[in-house]
A and B are shown apart, each in its own frame.
Chain A
Amino acid sequence: MTSILLALVIGAAFGAVLDRIGATNPNWIGKMLSLTNLHLMKTILLAIGTASVLMFAGQMAGLVDVGHMSVKTAYAGVFIGGLMLGVGWAASGYCPGTGVCAAATGRKDAWFFIAGGLLGAAAYMVSYPMWKAAGLLEGDKLTLGAIPGADYPALTTISGDIVGIVMGAMFIAVAFVLPERLRGAGQAVAPAE
């Protein structure tokens, strides 16, 4: 029961924040990906950095349970799938989470995105054996540094906590350094709501 309560609270908070930062608005996504307004990019980079620093600092201090980490396997299909997701993300302006949220805010196109998504996920369920047989799903749960208390294989022998804090700080720094726009002239145009 506690876990359902946590799902409700954290899930609702996540949905609300995605809405408030513009991530559920395809105009903001389109401008971010076409590099004409990077406001949302700065938001996301700062979020990754903040979460990373807090998590690894918390683990160093013994306040955060390392067992809660869940590192995904790195394999060739991650890159191929990433490319595919990128194409659809740019074309539709939605990714899985923001599509669900946008549909809830009444955006009609987001409902079509979800319908297409359910069909796409079903198509993957059916074609999964092919990818598996091709060996494109094989890999390891690699991390950049060796994380104390976890047995993930690491690319380096540097302390994973330190790497996490340094990488987090870098994400935060990039968020600050990144300009308002990389393409186009003048002030970045704020998308319509």
Chain B
Amino acid sequence: MVLNWKSGGVLLGLVFFAAVLLVKPIGVSTQFVILDAIIADAANPGLITATDEGFTSTNAYLAKSGGVYAKNAMNPLNYSFVFVLAMALGAFASAMARGGVGREERRLPAIWYANYGDTPWKRYGMAFLGGFIVLYGARLAGGCTSGHMMSGMMQTAVSGYVFAAGAFAAAVPVAIMMYQREG
């Protein structure tokens, strides 16, 4: 069972508040770039190079803003990267504490089963494709649901509202078309 929206909403709000009170607003999607950069630099040394001021890269995206992404990829034990790893740990502990996600759900979510039957590989293909579009879009936008929508709108950032308008304008019709049965 999920938390009632009142207690769940207040708890989630407190986490976002604690983040900005103690450090900075929450964001996630940049860390996909950092992990990519770590992998790419391991496969292709020379992608990221040290400079007098810090780091730079032959990739323009990693080199932008004074090479901050290149620097974070070379020092993965930084706040934002560890934050995302800790999120995974927190979610794992929380799921275990409530008995874990059922075996069938882990294999195939009920909403997919209700609409497309027992087709796990189609589901995995859709999840892969979805992941590609989500992260491409998030990097183009400069943030995701956490960084733009939640952290952005809580700070009255215009970018947050622009992002949320785009995200829901696309997500609602796609969800209505794809998931007609409620499961």
Contacts and interface: CB of A to CB of B under 8 A. Distances in A.
A145 to B, nearest CB: 6
A31 B123 CA distance: 17
A189 B87 contact: no
A85 B145 contact: yes
A12 B96 CA distance: 14
B52 interface: no
A121 B140 contact: no
B35 to A, nearest CB: 6
Given A45-B9, A107-B105, A82 B167 contact: yes
Given A3-B79, A50-B13, A193-B102, A94 B89 contact: no
A167 B91 CA distance: 30
Contact of A19 (B15, B90, B141, B176): B90
Nearest to A26: B109
A119 B132 contact: yes
B77 A92 contact: no
| Interface of chain A: mostly helix, strand, loop or mixed | helix
Contacts of B133: 84-85, 87-88, 91, 120
Contacts, number: 536
Contacts of B88: 15, 100-101, 103-104
Interface of B: 1-3, 5-6, 8-26, 28-29, 31-33, 35-37, 39-40, 59-62, 64, 77-80, 82-95, 98, 100-102, 105-112, 120, 123-148, 150-160, 162-172, 174-176, 178-180, 182-183
Q: 9 shortest A-B CB distances, which residue pairs?
A: A82-B166, A92-B130, A46-B9, A81-B141, A50-B13, A84-B137, A11-B86, A116-B131, A15-B90
23 contacts: A4-B77, A4-B82, A12-B87, A14-B19, A15-B90, A16-B91, A18-B91, A30-B178, A33-B176, A43-B5, A72-B160, A88-B132, A90-B171, A96-B31, A106-B106, A108-B107, A116-B128, A120-B136, A124-B135, A124-B139, A124-B140, A191-B111, A192-B183
